[in-house]
Amino acid sequence: MKLHIRRKSIIVLLCILSFTFGGFVFQKVEEEKISRILVKQAQEIFALEFTDTEIDTMLEDLDGQRKSLIALRNLNIQNSVSPALNFNPLPVAYQFPDQSNYFKVAPLQSVKMPSNRDELAFYSIPKLAALLRTKQISSTELTRFFIERIKKYNSVLLFSISITEERAMKQAKKADAEIAAGKYRGILHGIPFGIKDLIATKDYKTTWGSVPFKEQHIDLDATVLTKLENAGAVLIAKLTLGELAMGDVWYGGKTRNPWDIKRGSSGSSAGSASAVAAGCLPFAIGSETLGSIVSPSTECGTTGLRPSFGRISKHGAMALSWSMDKLGPITRDVQDCAIVFNAVLGADGKDLSVITAPFSYTSPLTTSLKGTRIGYIKSEFNRKYANSANDSLTLIKLKEMGAELVPVELPELPYRDMLIILSAESGAAFQDLSLTNRDDLMVRQDKNAWPSGFRSAHFIPAVEYIQANRARTILIDQLHKKMKDIDVFVAPAFGQNLLATNLSGHPCVVLPNGFRNGLPGSITFTGQLFGEGKLLKVAGAYQKATAFNEKHPSMNF
């Protein structure tokens, strides 16, 4: 038997809650009644103060609650089962910014095969699609090209867990036959891609990047994968994630940044960002709960879209936090994000948190932002941080493009304290690891790693979890009011905004905005809830005017 917590009062509470150690339950806990002294010691942990008389009235209830906890644990609920509570990020009487569905990508001039085929590694989706549609290259050839690049660079960058070669070649041959027969499915037809390995694929393992699950097979294809394959895209790789969606360290090592292989790629969509940045995939699907698209995209210089919560079905994806998890694309540019997003959004009848809403997008034909009101979080831009020089230049550039810059501030709320929502939900999602001690198998075991967090989550009272969600309601309402008079707002990639908008469910685009010491920096554009159409158009105009995304790592390693 082991104890991870030293304080006497916490040990007492462990007895109250009948915590399981080594696969068995303390028999004495089930037999003995909870006493007044145990409650008095335990309430110190939760900053509570009840009188002896008040405690006496609680004892029978506490005995019953303990029995209920044990009964619920014995259900052995799987990660795939979501709570019968759905987070809805919409303010009261909210009207969607997009009023209709409309999607149009700007037409390309004639696209020719490059004399050096290696240049294909960094072509955008429309360029690759044009080559496929005009039969200058086959999907089979293109798929083989990217698979060979993955094999070449993965040994250094460690971004791939499984190369889905057999499945990919079958899909590519099918795409070639359909295109030859005039059955063109659209711009993603025949385009290779990868997915973060927390997304289920029935004929390959889905490891969640974690030692306890590294041989796990889930017998289904996630909705996001099915939608992409229905659009004709070709899955070629399942990509690394920091173990159970934290950081860039997984059971096979540390995923690397192709700009500097001495650095990690950040996470948790570590492999998705690294592989796209390295030109080993045209696009990939990542996920974000609290920065897992923004952070690796910043580190690796990719462009990522974190959609509004409820835009894309998470069916078949690992749950870390049912009310904060979001799937989204990591790509070469904003337009590619829009293309992938358009293919995967919408309800599937399997993820009840999905909200059906219009998406209207046209590629920006010019770089003018005249008439666009862009907020900027003044207090965050005023502080000194690693990318502050590039971020200040971004504001100057937006003004040059004709945008009206409006200073704004986030609502004054205790964002970090509200993250007990994530702590409680992740602790529930992986309770079995804590109760069976399989958390000891995980790679990271420091105080800031998941094993410690999952254990401490058991000490978050349900009442306080609900209070944190009520604070979230206040955030949604206040942020909505602040955004009524602006189209989007910009903010540094890291800071209070990252916490606030992941809690509120707002969408953001993260994209490169310069370099420092040879490494890319990035900035985020945040849009109205379910306002991805305007968000992508504004961010795309800025990207078109700056073209930082067109620079790529040398790959000399």
pLDDT of residue 109: 80
Share of the chain above pLDDT 90, in %: 92
CATH superfamily ID and name for 121-414+470-550? Amidase signature (AS) domain (3.90.1300.10)
- Predicted local distance difference test score (pLDDT) of residue 30: 55
Say which residue the tokens 């650095």 belong to: 263
Structure confidence at residue 33 (pLDDT): 87
Q: Whose structure tokens read 């960002």?
A: 273
Residue 29 has pLDDT above 90, yes or no: no
CA-closest candidate to residue 301, choices 550, 36, 487? 550
Q: Within a 13 Å sphere around the CA of 387, how many CA atoms are in the beta-carbon half?
A: 25
Closest to 83 in 3D by CA, of 344, 433, 435, 427: 427
Count, residues in the chain: 557
Q: pLDDT tens digits, residue range 68-102?
A: 999 999 999 999 999 999 999 999 999 999 999 99
Report the amino acid identity of residue 171. Answer: Q
532 close to 359: Cβ distance less than 8 angstroms: yes
470-to-218, 323, 349, 466, 503 alpha-carbon distances in Å: 35, 13, 27, 6, 12
Nearest to 304 by CA among 88, 553, 520: 520
The runs of H, that is alpha helices, within 437-461 are 450-456
> Residue 555 has which token pair?
């790959």
pLDDT tens, residue by residue, 411-434? 999 999 999 999 999 999 999 999
Would you say residue 14 has pLDDT above 60?
A: no
Question: What does pTM read for this prediction?
Answer: 0.93
> Which of the residues are catalytic?
196, 268, 292
For residue range 444-461, list pLDDT tens digits in order.
999 999 999 999 999 999
Q: For the segment 129-165, what is each residue's pLDDT rounded down to a tens digit? A: 999 999 999 999 999 999 999 999 999 999 999 999 9
Q: What is the C-alpha to C-alpha distance for residues 159 and 274, in angstroms, rounded to an integer?
A: 6
pLDDT at 13 over 60: no
Task: Give the integer Cα–Cα distance in Å for 256 and 266.
Answer: 8
216: number of Cβ within 10 Å:
14
| Mean pLDDT of the chain, nearest integer | 93
* pLDDT tier, 369 (very low <50, low <70, confident <90, very high otherwise): very high
Quick one: average pLDDT of 236-242? Answer: 98
Burial of 527 per CB tally in 10 Å (0-12, 13-18, 19+):
buried
* 11 pLDDT tier (thresholds 50, 70, 90): very low
- In whole angstroms, how far apart are CA 377 and each of 321, 410, 483, 496? 27, 7, 12, 10
Q: What is the pLDDT of residues 195-231, one digit of tens each?
A: 999 999 999 999 999 999 999 999 999 999 999 999 9
Q: Residue 231: its pLDDT value, please?
A: 98
- CA pair distance 86, 322, nearest whole angstrom: 8
Kindly state the average pLDDT of the residues 499-528.
Answer: 98
What residues does each domain of the chain span? 1-75, 121-414+470-550
Are 13 and 42 in contact by the 8 Å Cβ rule? The answer is yes
